[in-house]
Structures are given as C-alpha cells and as structure tokens.
C-alpha cells in the first residue's frame, strides 16, 4: 500500500469512517471521488444504489490492479455475495450479448465459477471468482475495441402495463422484434414472479440452435445466479438475456423464414403432443437408454426426437432418456474433442436444469425433444467422427492394480482414451468419486485458462450426480477429454490471487 493510501486509511479510521458492510464502509478504502466523476451518463442503465458503487469500481479499476484492490476490500468486510452480484451486473452492462459467446463468456461463466466455488474446499473458494473478475476485465477491453457497447437506460414511456407485459413480450419474441421485446421485458420483470418469468424464458432459450446451445446456457446460468444474488437485480439481467435470445447470427428474420436452426422447435411442438399423458410415470430402463444412445449416433434431428417419443410411449422413464442424452454428449466429446462437442455437454446441462425446474408439462416435453434434436446437430460432419462407443469403453487395469488419481491426470496429457479407461477402472473400484472430482476442480483452478474450462467442468461434475448408476461412471470417464491434465501449464493468476488475499 502506498504512503498516501496508508495515510488515507489511517485518517479514515481516526474519523470513524469505517461503517458496517451493510453501510458500504468498505468503499472508504478507495481514493475520494468527486460527484462529477461518479456520475453516470443519463443514457446508461443504473443499478440499485446499494450495488452501483461496487459495479463502478469493477468497471473503472485497471485490470492489473483489480485483484489486489478486491482482496483489500474483502479483508475489510466485502462479502462473496456482493462481489458475485457486482461481477454479473458489470458484465451485463458492459458486454453486448450478441453473439451469446466469445467475449460474452465473461457473463456466462459467472454461474459456473460460482458453482465451482460452492463445491470447493474453503482454501480454494475465492479462486474461481477471482479468475472471473480478471476475465471480465479482458472481455471489457475487447468490447471497448469493438465499439464499446453499454446497456442503455430503460425508456419507461415504452414499457407496457402489467396486464399487457407478458403478452407483449411473447409477441415481440415470436416476431424477433428487439426494441419491442426490450420494452416488454422491463414491464415483465417489474410485475411478474421469478418462476413465471423462468417458465417463459426457458422455452425461448431452447427454441433454436443458433449459438450452439449458448442461449439455453444463458437462461439457466442467469436464473441460477439471480437466485443467489437476489431477484431485485433481475431487470438488467433479463434485458441482456432477451437481447441474447434474439440474436439471429446474421440470418433473416426467423419469423418469416424456414431456417435449419428453427426447424426442430417447430417439428417438436406437434410431436410433443403425441407423448402419452402418463409419461412421467415410466420405469427406469437401461436398455431404453442404450437404444436411444445408439439412435443418436446416426439419427436425423426429427428421427432423434421421434425415438424419444417412442421410448416414452413404450413406458421408459424420463430419467432413462436423460441417461442417454448425457452419455451421448460425453460420447461426442470422445469422438471429436473441441468447442462444438463440449457445448453438447454444457447445453445438455442447461436444458436438463430447465427440465428439472419447469413446472409446465408441455415445456418439459419440449426440452427433452429439443435436447435430442440438438445432439444430432452437434455431430457436425459425422464422417469425420472417430468410431468409438462410450458404452463399449473398457476399464484399464495394468499389472493387476487399478490406476491412481495421479496416474489418471498424468495420462490426460499423453493419451485421453487411456485416461478415460483408467478413470473407468478407478471409478469401478471406488464408491465415492469425490477424490476424482476434487482433483479435477483443483487442476481447473491451477491450469485453466479460458471460460470453457470452468463452464465444462462445472457442468459435467454437477451432472455426474444426475446420471443413473448404470451410466454415470462412463459419463464421468468421458469428461477427461476436456479436463485439464497434470502436465498442463500452470495458470499464473492463481499465484497472484493468493498473494493478493494474503495481503
């Protein structure tokens, strides 16, 4: 700390300037800022007064100083929840959600970092959030280079009344009308409940394949983060989400065209009505999961969703369908590791979350069918895929002994197929996978260098628990195709974070 900063803190303490965290006393650690400096342009969206100063702090602090400045605030009472809230809102205000990817991952990754923090030992819990803070500054700089987009202040004169907001929003979304949807979602966020809004958004997040699943991911991640930071922050987040869901990636207006990305939704809306009324009462069937997994290897989008309907009508439980969907996503990762395949995993995570949290029968049917259709689209050029079947993966036992965790994560950098076989062998000899999961997360913290490290690991390590015992070990074994190995280069940000927190 500089001598001037030490003097400032000393004089502030002497004057009793440090108040409780609830009174934002931590802001006294900052140099004095004039009213003119603190004022936002009237054209820019403002957040609630209790969080706006912290958001401005994240926006204005240079990247090379941010972690150290945040660490100083933590030592003086700044809470985890306050940082999480400000981080999400800073991204929402500063990063354009079109496309819903690339630099916008700084927003998408907030919930993934949060999940990683919640699941980590106390000693590691700050690391994912500090990584996300640094990543936000990188994305903010990129956005500035590309035009410096900033969310505009709401135009209240265009906001529909409470009784009209829902219908106006749905009509605007169906028409792909961005200005009308923005005005309507403001009214919706001010008058509707969280669950009602979620039910609407999870349908629009699943309606098209543009952005390779990022739309569904943004719906799930934004809603989950809002549940943690408080629904009072929903309006700007929902405005950003709405803009993201309306991204057409250069296509003509889908409401007036017949485009490949939109066809599954149109087809599955009618197909969903063919599912028997008692579909939720089906029986678990590993053979049904295997049958669907086989179909997903070669089926068209329409054939895949039709197969789901067939199995449900034959009495298979929805869980058996999800088992196949999860393992199909994992198998795609084994076929062709990379961006397209890893999003098969993360979008399945998002669609499954929506399925779990929706209370609407029709929506839940559509989410299942859309996920099956999307997985066929994630195959890309199937002629380039390796011929490998996850349900045929054999555990690797060498010299009569199961491999160790250290051997598995060392093997990742040499041969991921062998690492998957060793993982399967280790899992079959261990009832509790926690040692593997902890090691995987630690390596993400130490060696992860992009948002997909956090998004993928948080999704796959969460969904392991959502797969039935007959299928979950193979699903987790497939994860090594996108997890970090022991031989990967260390992330220098960890050293900086630990040094900052140590003071």
Are 162 and 91 members of one domain? no
Q: Which of 62, 131, 143, 71 is nearest to 102 (CA)?
A: 143
Are 294 and 367 members of one domain? yes
Examine residue 7 and state whether it is found in any structural domain, yes or no: no
Are 286 and 244 members of one domain? no
Alpha-carbon separation of residue 157 from 154, 173, 187 (angstroms): 9, 20, 11
Examine residue 331 and state whether it is found in any structural domain, yes or no: yes
Of 36 and 270, the one with more pLDDT: 270
> How far, in Å, CA of 338 to CA of 388, rounded?
16
> How far, in Å, CA of 399 to CA of 432, rounded?
23
Angle at Cα 117 formed by Cα 460 and Cα 348, nearest 5°? 25
Enclosing domain of residue 314: 278-384
**pLDDT, tens digit, 9 for 90 and up, residues 444-470:** 999 999 999 999 999 999 999 999 999
Are 399 and 375 members of one domain? no
Are 119 and 168 members of one domain? no
Examine residue 489 and state whether it is found in any structural domain, yes or no: no
Q: Which of 317, 467, 315 is nearest to 390 (CA)?
A: 467
DSSP state of 316: B
**pLDDT confidence band for 13 (50 / 70 / 90):** very low
Average pLDDT score over the chain: 90
Are 133 and 162 members of one domain? no
> How far, in Å, CA of 414 to CA of 175, rounded?
50
Are 200 and 285 members of one domain? no
Examine residue 254 and state whether it is found in any structural domain, yes or no: no
pLDDT at 33: 37
Examine residue 49 and state whether it is found in any structural domain, yes or no: yes
Final residue belonging to a domain, choices 125, 145, 165:
145
Are 291 and 224 members of one domain? no
Residue 9 pLDDT exceeds 50: no
**pLDDT confidence band for 64 (50 / 70 / 90):** very high
Are 323 and 418 members of one domain? no
| DSSP string for residues in 346-411 | HHHHHHHHHHHH---HHHHHHHHHHHHHHHHHHT-SGGGS----GGG-----BTTBPPPHHHHHHH
**pLDDT confidence band for 108 (50 / 70 / 90):** very high
> How far, in Å, CA of 194 to CA of 90, rounded?
21
pLDDT at 383: 60
Residue 62 backbone phi and psi in degrees, to 5: -60, 150
pLDDT at 166: 98
Are 456 and 408 members of one domain? yes
Global pTM exceeds 0.75: yes
Q: Quick check: helix, strand or coil at residue 395?
A: coil
**pLDDT confidence band for 15 (50 / 70 / 90):** very low
Examine residue 373 and state whether it is found in any structural domain, yes or no: yes
Q: Can you state the angle between helices 492-502 and 63-75, rounded to 10 degrees? A: 40
Final residue belonging to a domain, choices 229, 249, 269:
249
Alpha-carbon separation of residue 226 from 12, 111, 129, 146, 222 (angstroms): 34, 9, 16, 28, 6
Number of domains in the chain: 4
Examine residue 255 and state whether it is found in any structural domain, yes or no: no
> How far, in Å, CA of 242 to CA of 244, rounded?
5
pLDDT at 414: 97
Are 364 and 409 members of one domain? no
Final residue belonging to a domain, choices 145, 166, 190:
145
Of 250 and 430, the one with more pLDDT: 250
pLDDT at 43: 82
> How far, in Å, CA of 445 to CA of 491, rounded?
8
Examine residue 132 and state whether it is found in any structural domain, yes or no: yes
Greatest alpha-carbon span in the chain? 75
């Amino acid at each position: 700390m500089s001598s001037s900063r030490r003097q400032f803190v000393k004089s502030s303490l002497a004057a009793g300037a440090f108040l409780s965290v609830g009174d934002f006393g931590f802001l006294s650690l900052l140099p004095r800022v004039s009213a003119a400096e603190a004022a936002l342009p009237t054209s820019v969206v403002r957040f609630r007064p209790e969080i706006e100063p912290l958001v401005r702090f994240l926006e204005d602090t240079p990247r090379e100083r941010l972690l150290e400045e945040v660490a100083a605030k933590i030592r003086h009472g700044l809470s985890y929840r306050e940082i999480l809230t400000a981080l999400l809102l800073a991204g929402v205000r500063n990063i354009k959600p079109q496309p819903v990817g690339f630099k916008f991952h700084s927003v998408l990754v907030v919930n993934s970092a949060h999940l990683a923090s919640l699941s980590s030992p106390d000693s590691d819990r700050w690391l994912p959030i500090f990584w996300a803070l640094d990543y936000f500054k990188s994305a903010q700089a990129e956005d500035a280079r590309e035009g410096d987009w900033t969310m505009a202040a709401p135009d209240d004169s265009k906001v529909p009344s409470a009784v009209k907001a829902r219908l106006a929003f749905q009509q605007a979304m169906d028409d792909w009308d961005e200005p009308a949807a923005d005005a309507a979602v403001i009214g919706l966020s001010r008058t509707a409940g969280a669950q009602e809004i979620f039910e609407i958004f999870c349908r629009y997040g699943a309606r098209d394949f543009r952005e390779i699943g990022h739309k569904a991911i943004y719906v799930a991640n934004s809603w989950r983060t809002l549940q943690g930071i408080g629904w009072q922050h929903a309006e700007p987040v929902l405005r950003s989400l709405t803009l993201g869901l309306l991204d057409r990636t250069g296509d003509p207006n889908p409401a007036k065209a017949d485009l490949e990305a939109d066809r599954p939704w149109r087809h599955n809306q009618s197909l969903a009505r063919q599912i028997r009324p008692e579909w939720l009462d089906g029986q678990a069937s590993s053979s049904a999961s295997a049958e669907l997994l086989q179909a997903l290897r070669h089926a068209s989008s329409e054939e895949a969703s039709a197969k789901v309907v067939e199995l449900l009508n034959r009495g298979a439980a929805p869980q058996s369908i999800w088992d196949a969907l999860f393992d199909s996503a994992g198998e795609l990762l084994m076929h062709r590791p990379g961006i397209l395949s890893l999003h098969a995993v993360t979008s399945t995570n998002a669609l499954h979350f929506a399925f779990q949290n929706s209370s609407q029968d029709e929506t839940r049917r559509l989410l299942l069918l859309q996920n099956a259709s999307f997985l066929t689209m994630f195959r890309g050029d199937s002629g380039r895929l390796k011929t490998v079947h996850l349900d045929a993966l054999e555990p690797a036992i060498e010299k009569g002994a199961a491999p160790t965790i250290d051997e598995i994560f060392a093997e990742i950098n040499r041969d991921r197929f062998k690492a998957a076989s060793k993982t399967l062998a280790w899992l079959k000899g261990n009832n509790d996978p926690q040692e593997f999961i902890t090691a995987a997360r630690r390596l993400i913290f130490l060696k992860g260098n992009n948002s997909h490290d956090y998004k993928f690991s948080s999704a796959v390590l969460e969904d392991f628990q959502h797969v039935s015992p007959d299928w979950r070990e193979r699903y987790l074994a497939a994860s090594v195709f996108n997890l970090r190995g022991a031989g990967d280069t260390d992330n220098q940000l960890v050293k900086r974070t630990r040094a900052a927190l140590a003071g």
